[in-house]
């Protein structure tokens, strides 16, 4: 500035006396300048602190509160929040939130939920926003915003920008008129936000890197643990294999070492190994440790195979993993015994070597802290293969050791006494010959020996025509009942007793042999008269009519005997056995407990049966079997309910064939199953037509099924296909089965019955009262109706004992919510008596005989109008 300028300036600043015009204004200007310098210094310090935070903070959760404190040092910021925006998923997350009135919104929130908020405006505009009360009213009047949370005075928010994209918002809010925000506050918060973004991005990248490192570390640790587990498993398997070679190791120590090795892989505090004795159907516990059992010897003593969980493993030959609830469910289904209340988890695996079932290995837990899973099951199953191999190799090694010791002993014995060795060898050969020629259970000669002896007798007859002999073919009656009710062990005991008695009844020169099962044969040689054979047959028949005591229980059986005398027409033993067998079946068909002599008529009967079987097969193919319908009526008002469909055969070759002439053979040859399905399909077609013709959908048909249908898993599909083809509703079909079906293969029978019930088909139990009539299957099986057998119904008004039986059956059915049908009602007195005893339905000749479809249509027309 020039001197003149300076003078001019001085002149302008001084009054006439040369003093300053306004010292106060200069002081104020200086104070304002000093305040601005202090504010700049504070902002610099705050921003410097933010930069430091970006370097010093290691986690975002620690970073946000310090950002709040730093901003609060620059402006009033009692209420502040930081919200992150994810553009990809269009979501918001309030990562930091301090507010004196409102609670922090939790979790990840859909961005649309905050539509109309100030935060929404900042994100969409990418611009800072200072909302005063007047601006708020203007925005609300223009429908730009709507209320979120408590209403405040001023709201100030700025976007967090990274690479020109909004990644969030930082906002402060005032609820007091004394605290108002200005444009400088807006600029300061905007400037600070950029430093916050830089720190956030760095910390987010660092956190993502740390997460990736942590994830990779977990993977590596898992791989290390898996490698260590694999090494432990490999070491365990090696140790199990090594045990096999320690022949001197006591067997109990061997199993204890196996237990210890398994215990290093899985919690096996409670552990046992049971070996399976297939020949005797026994389970022998070779090793056991159990923390809950008070008397281990009783708990783990050898037992017959029963309904234990170990038996489930043996039968399925698969691993079985069960919780207590699953064990209890199996018990409630009747499949197993009741589990111990203390059992929490149970795991069993089969021990199998080269396809041979050796036994079962089991671990179980009584603590809720130890629950086995499928990984444990897979591991134990894998280990079991090596344990099985070790056990088998040890058995073989032990056998080899024993064999070696025996061989050494034999060498010594041979050295000391050659004669004794020769004697023993002859004894062994004799024993081997006896074993090869005799039945292992009874000790009787077997089929092979008997065939040789019979062929020898035939040859003698050829050389000496005067030589006479006879063959007695025996089959025990009701032997299957003994096996089913008392078990195979009782059946074996009965066979042994009978075999011994049969030998005592014949002469020394005669031969008793067992062919197999419950079949025996007797060769009576050098007969002087046929009466000798009849006498032996009579004594055998009378003996077997007496009861036997098996395991403290009386057992009744009997026998049917076929007698065949020698004849020049026989050239070989097989033909003679065939005809003797035919005579035996003739005796069985004639009433059992008797004997019959073979004659040519029996052979013709067999030939006729073969011819009849061939015709039945053709009749099935030609659809010759037709249903006849017998009405089933309500006994209280004789209203028609439905029909029972009965199979009838109008043969193109034989004419009308009565059911008793073809059904027994059809059942014996299993052809009855095809006949049953044919009758059901035709019956369903006919009932569907009648329902439509008479406008009565309540008419149903009841069809009989042979028991073997229920042994087939395809039964529900077969019935469903018939119903679909005929269009008949399942509710219009009833299926009848006899008690015999409930005594075998109960699991598949129950499954089939339940499937039919689920379909809507009702189940009827036919001929009730004549079989075993066990209450257990009435409770277990889903039966809807009991059909009282006609043997009780016929002239029941004259038989008090039959009335008592029928009343008991009706009361039983009522209590079990089952209906009852009386079969074979032939007079008014029986019908009225059954109705008085609350029997629901009836059928029989008194109401109507079985009718053809055409006759039945007339009956329906008369009955239904």
> Cβ distance 687 to 701 under 8 Å?
yes
Q: Rounded mean pLDDT of 782-810?
A: 87
User: Please, are residues 657 and 649 in contact by the beta-carbon 8 Å criterion?
Assistant: yes
Per DSSP, the three-state class of 599 is coil
**Strands of 50-104, DSSP E:** 79-86, 91-98
Contacts with 386 (C-beta within 8 Å, 6 or more apart), sequence order:
237, 240, 241
Query: Higher confidence at residue 710 or residue 413?
Result: 710
If you ran DSSP here, which 8-state letter would residue 259 be given? H
d(CA 660, CA 613): 14
Residue ranges of alpha helices (H) inside 464-513 are 479-486, 488-505
Q: Is the predicted pLDDT of residue 248 greater than 60, yes or no?
A: yes
Residue 250 in domain: yes
Residues 359 and 496 in one domain: no
Q: Range of 471's domain?
A: 438-598
Same domain assignment for residues 489 and 542: yes
* CB-CB contact of 822 with 832 (8 Å): no
The answer on 462 and 358 residing in a single domain is no
Helix pair angle (23-56, 183-245), 10° resolution: 10
Q: Under 8 Å CB-to-CB from 412, ≥6 apart: which residues? A: none
| Residue 472, pLDDT above cutoff 80 | yes
Mean of pLDDT values over 191-218: 75
Q: Are residues 628 and 579 in the same domain?
A: no
What is the DSSP code (8-state) at residue 111? G
Judge whether 764 lies within some domain.
yes
Alpha-carbon torsion 664, 668, 674, 676, what sign? positive
Provide, rounded to the nearest whole percent, the portion of the chain with pLDDT above 90.
48
pLDDT at 789 > cutoff 90:
no
Judge whether residue 614 has pLDDT over 70. Answer: yes
How would residue 2 be classed by pLDDT, with cut points 50, 70 and 90?
very low
Residue 355 Cα distances to 48, 286, 358, 394, 395, angstroms = 79, 21, 9, 17, 16
Same domain, 586 and 617: no
**Predicted pLDDT of residue 55:** 59
Q: Which two tokens stand for residue 838?
A: 């609350």
Q: Answer for the pair 85, 109: CB distance below 8 angstroms, yes or no.
A: no
Q: Phi and psi for 337 in degrees, rounded to 5?
A: -75, 165
pLDDT digits (tens, 9 = 90+) for 114-142: 888 999 999 999 999 999 998 888 888 88
Task: Work out the pLDDT band at 149, boundaries 50, 70, 90.
Answer: confident
Q: How is residue 433 written in tokens?
A: 């010959």
pLDDT, average across residues 826-851: 93
pLDDT of 330: 92
Mean pLDDT (whole number) for 725-742: 92
- The string of pLDDT tens digits covering residues 546-602 is 998 888 888 888 999 999 999 888 899 998 898 898 889 888 887 888 899 988 677
> What is the per-residue burial (b if ≥16 Cβ within 10 Å, else e) of 320-336?
bbbebeebbebeeeeeb
Whether 220 maps to a domain, the answer reads no
Find the range with the poorest average confidence among 1-10, 614-623, 856-865: 1-10
Per-residue pLDDT for 21 more than 60? Answer: no
Question: How many domains does the chain divide into?
Answer: 4
Structural contact between residues 285 and 300, judged by C-beta atoms closer than 8 angstroms: yes
What value does the mean pLDDT take over residues 232-246? Answer: 66
Q: Is residue 281 part of a domain?
A: yes
Residues 724, 681: one domain? yes
How confident is the model at residue 381, as a pLDDT? 86
* Residues 360, 496 within the same domain: no
Domain contains 430? no
Q: What is the mean pLDDT of the chain?
A: 85
Q: Give the range among 80-89, 481-490, 681-690, 755-764 with minimum mean pLDDT.
A: 481-490
Residue 32 located in a structural domain:
no
Kindly state whether residues 556 and 586 are assigned to the same domain: yes
Q: What is the mean pLDDT of residues 489-496?
A: 90
Average pLDDT estimate for 654-681 = 92
Q: What percent of the chain has pLDDT over 70?
A: 86
pLDDT at position 16, please? 44
CA distances from 668 to 71, 301, 613, 673, 706 (A): 99, 44, 10, 11, 11
The answer to which of 5-9, 419-423, 439-443, 798-802 has the lowest mean pLDDT is: 5-9
pLDDT of residue 404: 79
Whether residue 451 is predicted with pLDDT greater than 60 in this model: the reply is yes
Give the per-residue pLDDT at 522.
96
Query: What count of other Cβ atoms lies within 10 Å of the Cβ of residue 691?
Result: 18
Grade residue 43 by pLDDT with cuts at 50, 70 and 90: low
- Cα–Cα dist 642/665, whole Å: 29
CATH number of the domain at 573, please.
3.30.70.270
**Residue at 29 is within a domain:** no
Distance CA 127, CA 555 (A): 102
Helix (H) or strand (E) holding 474: strand 470-477
110 and 254 co-located in one domain = no
Mean pLDDT of 323-335: 92
pLDDT-derived band at 60 (thresholds 50, 70, 90) equals confident
Q: Is the pLDDT of residue 4 over 50?
A: no
Report the range of poorest mean pLDDT among 400-414, 664-678, 707-721, 815-829. 400-414
Which of 190, 210, 230 terminates a domain? The answer is 210
Q: How confident is the model at residue 207 (pLDDT cuts 50, 70, 90)?
A: confident
Instruction: Find the range with the poorest average confidence among 253-267, 513-527, 768-782.
Output: 768-782
Q: 699 and 581 in one domain?
A: no
Confidence check: pLDDT of 36 > 50: yes
Least confident of 254-263, 300-309, 408-417, 640-649: 408-417
| pLDDT confidence tier of residue 92, bands split at 50, 70 and 90 | very high
Residue 418 has pLDDT above 80, yes or no: no
> Could you tell me the pLDDT band of residue 34, with boundaries at 50, 70 and 90?
low
Task: Please tell me the distance from the alpha carbon of residue 753 to that of residue 749, in angstroms, as a whole number.
Answer: 6
Tell whether 444 and 569 lie within a shared domain: yes
Residue 53 has pLDDT above 90, yes or no: no
Q: Between vectors from CA 366 to CA 360 and to CA 367, what angle results, nearest 5°?
A: 130
CA angle in degrees (0–180, nearest 5) for 797-799-804: 95
- Stated pTM of the model: 0.42
**Average pLDDT of 643-656?**
94
430 or 615: whose pLDDT is higher?
615
pLDDT band at residue 775 under the 50/70/90 scheme? low
Tell me if 224 is assigned to some domain: no
- Do 573 and 616 reside in the same domain of the chain? no
Per-residue pLDDT, 6: 32
Write the DSSP string, 635-656: TTT--EEEEEEEEEEEETTTEE
Q: How many residues does the chain have?
A: 865
At residue 730, does pLDDT exceed 90? yes
Give the model's pLDDT for residue 438.
Answer: 86
Q: How confident is the model at residue 29 (pLDDT cuts 50, 70, 90)?
A: low
Helix (H) or strand (E) holding 595: strand 595-597
The CATH number linked to 99 is: 3.30.450.40
Q: Give the integer Cα–Cα distance in Å for 243 and 765.
A: 59
Indicate the pLDDT class of residue 243, thresholds 50, 70 and 90.
Answer: low
Mean pLDDT across 154-183? 92
Average pLDDT of 781-804? 86
Highest mean pLDDT: which range of 37-41, 409-413, 831-835: 831-835
| Nearest of 386, 580, 320, 377 to residue 472 by alpha carbon | 580
């Amino acid at each position: 500035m020039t001197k003149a300028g300076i003078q001019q300036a001085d002149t302008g600043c001084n009054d006439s006396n040369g003093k300053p015009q306004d010292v106060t204004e200069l002081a104020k200007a200086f104070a304002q300048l000093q305040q601005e310098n202090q504010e700049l210094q504070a902002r610099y310090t705050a921003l410097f602190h933010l930069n430091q935070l970006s370097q010093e903070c290691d986690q975002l959760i620690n970073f946000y509160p310090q950002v709040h404190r730093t901003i609060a040092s620059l402006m009033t910021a009692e209420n502040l929040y930081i919200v992150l925006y994810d553009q990809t998923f269009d979501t918001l997350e309030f990562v930091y939130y301090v507010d004196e009135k409102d609670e922090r919104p939790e979790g990840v929130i859909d961005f649309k939920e905050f539509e109309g908020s100030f935060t929404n405006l900042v994100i969409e505009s990418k611009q800072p926003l200072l909302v005063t009360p007047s601006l708020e009213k203007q925005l609300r009047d223009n429908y730009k915003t709507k209320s979120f949370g408590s209403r405040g005075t001023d709201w100030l928010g700025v976007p967090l920008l990274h690479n020109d994209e909004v990644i969030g918002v930082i906002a402060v809010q005032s609820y007091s008129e004394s605290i108002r925000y200005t444009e400088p506050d807006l600029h300061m918060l905007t400037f600070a936000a950029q430093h916050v973004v830089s720190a956030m991005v760095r910390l987010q990248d660092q956190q993502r890197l740390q997460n990736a490192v942590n994830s990779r570390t977990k993977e590596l640790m898992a791989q290390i643990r898996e490698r260590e587990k694999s090494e432990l498993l490999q070491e365990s398997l090696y140790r199990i294999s090594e045990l096999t070679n320690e022949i001197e190791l006591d067997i109990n120590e061997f199993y204890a070492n196996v237990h210890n090795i398994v215990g290093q892989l899985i919690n096996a505090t409670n552990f046992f190994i049971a070996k399976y004795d297939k020949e005797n159907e026994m389970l022998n516990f070779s090793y056991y440790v159990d923390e809950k059992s008070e008397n281990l010897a009783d708990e783990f003593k050898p037992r017959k195979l029963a309904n234990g969980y170990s038996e489930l493993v043996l039968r399925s030959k698969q691993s079985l993993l069960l919780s207590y609830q699953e064990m209890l469910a199996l018990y409630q289904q009747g499949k197993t015994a009741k589990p111990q209340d203390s059992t929490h988890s149970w795991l069993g695996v089969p021990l199998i070597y080269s396809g041979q079932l050796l036994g079962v290995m089991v671990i179980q837990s009584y603590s809720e802290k130890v629950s086995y899973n499928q990984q444990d099951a897979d591991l134990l199953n894998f280990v079991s293969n090596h344990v099985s191999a070790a056990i088998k190799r040890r058995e073989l090694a032990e056998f080899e050791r024993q064999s070696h010791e025996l061989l050494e002993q034999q060498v010594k014995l041979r050295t000391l006494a050659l004669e004794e060795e020769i004697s023993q060898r002859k004894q062994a050969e004799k024993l081997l010959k006896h074993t090869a020629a005799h039945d292992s259970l009874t000790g009787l000669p077997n089929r092979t020996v008997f065939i040789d002896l019979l062929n020898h007798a035939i040859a003698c007859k050829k050389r000496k025509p005067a030589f006479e002999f006879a063959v007695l073919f025996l089959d025990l009656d009701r032997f299957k009942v003994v096996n089913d009710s008392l078990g195979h062990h009782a059946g074996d005991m009965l066979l042994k007793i009978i075999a011994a008695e049969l030998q005592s009844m014949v002469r020394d020169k005669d031969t008793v042999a067992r062919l197999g099962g419950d079949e025996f044969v007797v060769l009576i040689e050098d007969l002087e008269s046929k009466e000798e054979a009849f006498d032996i047959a009579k004594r055998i028949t009378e003996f077997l009519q007496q009861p036997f005591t098996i395991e403290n229980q009386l057992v009744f059986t009997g026998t049917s005997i076929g007698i065949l005398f020698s004849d020049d027409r026989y050239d070989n033993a097989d033909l003679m056995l065939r005809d003797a067998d035919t005579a035996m079946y003739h005796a069985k068909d004639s009433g059992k407990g008797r004997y019959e002599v073979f004659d040519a008529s029996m052979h013709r009967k067999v030939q006729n049966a073969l011819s009849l079987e061939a015709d039945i097969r053709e009749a099935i193919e030609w659809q010759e079997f037709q249903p006849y319908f017998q009405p089933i009526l309500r006994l209280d008002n004789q209203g028609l309910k439905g029909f029972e469909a009965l199979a009838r055969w109008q043969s193109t070759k034989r004419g009308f064939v009565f059911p008793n002439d073809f059904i027994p053979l059809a059942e014996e040859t299993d052809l009855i199953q095809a006949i049953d399905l044919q009758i059901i399909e035709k019956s369903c077609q006919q009932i569907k037509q009648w329902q439509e013709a008479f406008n009565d959908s309540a008419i149903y048909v009841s069809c009989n099924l042979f028991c073997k249908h229920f042994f087939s898993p395809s039964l529900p599909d077969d019935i469903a296909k018939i119903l679909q083809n005929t269009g008949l509703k399942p509710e219009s079909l009833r299926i009848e089965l006899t008690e015999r079906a409930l005594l075998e293969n109960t699991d598949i029978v129950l499954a089939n019955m339940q499937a039919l019930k689920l379909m809507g088909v009702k189940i009827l139990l036919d001929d009730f009262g004549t079989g075993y009539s066990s209450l257990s299957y009435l409770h277990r099986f889903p039966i809807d109706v009991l059909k009282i057998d006609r043997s009780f119904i016929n002239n029941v008004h004259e038989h008090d004992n039959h009335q008592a039986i029928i009343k008991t059956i009706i009361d039983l059915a009522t209590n079990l919510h089952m209906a009852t049908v009386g079969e074979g009602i032939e007079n008014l007195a029986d019908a009225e008596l059954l109705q008085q005893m609350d029997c629901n339905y009836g059928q029989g000749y008194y109401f109507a005989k079985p009718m053809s479809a055409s006759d039945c249509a007339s009956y329906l027309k008369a009955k239904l109008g």
